[in-house]
Copies of this chain bind each other. A is one copy, B any other.
Amino acid sequence: MAYYIGVDIGGTNLKAGVVDDSGAILGEASVPTGADRPQDVVLQDILRAVRMSVEAAKIDPHEITAAGVGSPGVIDSVNGIVTYNNNLGWKNFAIGPKMSETLGVPVVLENDADAAALGEVVAGCAKGAKSAMIITLGTGVGSGFVIDEKIFRGCEFGHMVIAYGGRKCTCGRHGCFEAYCSATGLINMTKEAITEHPNSTLSEIAKREGVVSGHTVFAAADEQDPIAINIINEYTGYLACGLANLINGLQPEVIGVGGGIGKQGERLLVPLREKVIAEVYEGIKPKCAKIVSCTLGYKAGLIGAAMAAR
């Protein structure tokens, strides 16, 4: 049996795990990532998490044949270097070569969204799919594209403009998919509606919860609030537009929807699928991507990083 180390670097915690050929996690560990620390100190923490995960997995360390790391930021996969990560304060952090030196196995470095997409293809919602696009609806909109269980590196459709001259995006463009379909985008729509309709059920729920989240509008829709139903209708319209673009453009077999908003599951997917099929190009309709919820949650990145090393 061959085992692989997977490391998923998050903004708050970094996780390491031992994964087998099927994508099952045999042991895992987590330590704080800690922003703005010397890179060698971070490296020691990564290696510590790896050791802890190997202990937890109760395997012989010699059976580990390779390791993979998923990291946010600008990634140079060829050389195993995180070129730039603004949030963590990293610049030219050679994680790959340095980990490889200590562990004595090859180490591959991938973008974290790409790694998570591979995880969902090997062991999650897109298991067995020849090609899959994983769309993460969180603070931003992430995208990962996997063909024949291989990552298509650098797939970044969050900054695809779907509404020319529309909402300003953090990237500087106007009308990006992310500006409308991220959790942030949905929260903005919700806040605007609350200001406009202060006496709606939606406003009441927001007041009761004390904060507007991506969930607020779905909770109000559950209580049949027409304002909330309208927002979900508008939101799924934009989301369907972006997904139909990707289906027309790349014809993935499966689209997995993840991230905070993805957790709404069928409440989101039922209206979404209906709108997507109406938008897809006629000749592609019969082979239109299956749209499903991601199933691995935070484990996707860890499993995918390990599977990238497989």
Contact = CB atoms under 8 A, between A and B. Distances in A.
Interface stretch (A113-121, A200-208, A212-220, A244-252): A244-252
B245 A161 contact: yes
Given A74-B283, A173-B244, A250-B154, A163 B160 contact: no
Interface string A239-278: 0010011001111000000000000000000000000000
A162 interface: yes
Copies in the complex: 2
A163 B160 CA distance: 11
11 contacts: A84-B283, A154-B251, A155-B249, A159-B245, A159-B248, A160-B245, A160-B248, A161-B241, A163-B164, A163-B165, A164-B166
Contacts of A159: 245, 248-249, 281
What size tier do the contact residues of chain A reach?
Answer: 20 to 34
A249 B164 contact: no
A238 interface: yes
A164 B175 contact: yes
Interface of A: 74, 84, 143, 152, 154-157, 159-166, 171-173, 175, 238, 241, 244-245, 248-251, 279, 281-284
B74 A238 contact: no
B249 A156 contact: yes
A128 to B, nearest CB: 18
Nearest to A84: B283
B244 A161 contact: yes
B157 A249 contact: yes
Given A154-B251, A249-B155, A171 B281 contact: yes
The interface centre, meaning the residue of A160, A163, A175, A251 with most chain B CB atoms within 10 A of its CB, is A160
Given A162-B161, A164-B238, A281 B156 contact: yes
Given A74-B283, A156-B248, 13 more contacts: A156-B249, A156-B251, A157-B249, A159-B248, A159-B281, A160-B248, A160-B249, A161-B244, A162-B162, A163-B165, A164-B164, A164-B175, A173-B279
Q: Which 5 A-B pairs have the closest CB atoms?
A: A163-B164, A160-B245, A154-B251, A159-B248, A157-B249
A255 to B, nearest CB: 14
A185 to B, nearest CB: 13
A161 B248 CA distance: 10
A59 B74 CA distance: 52
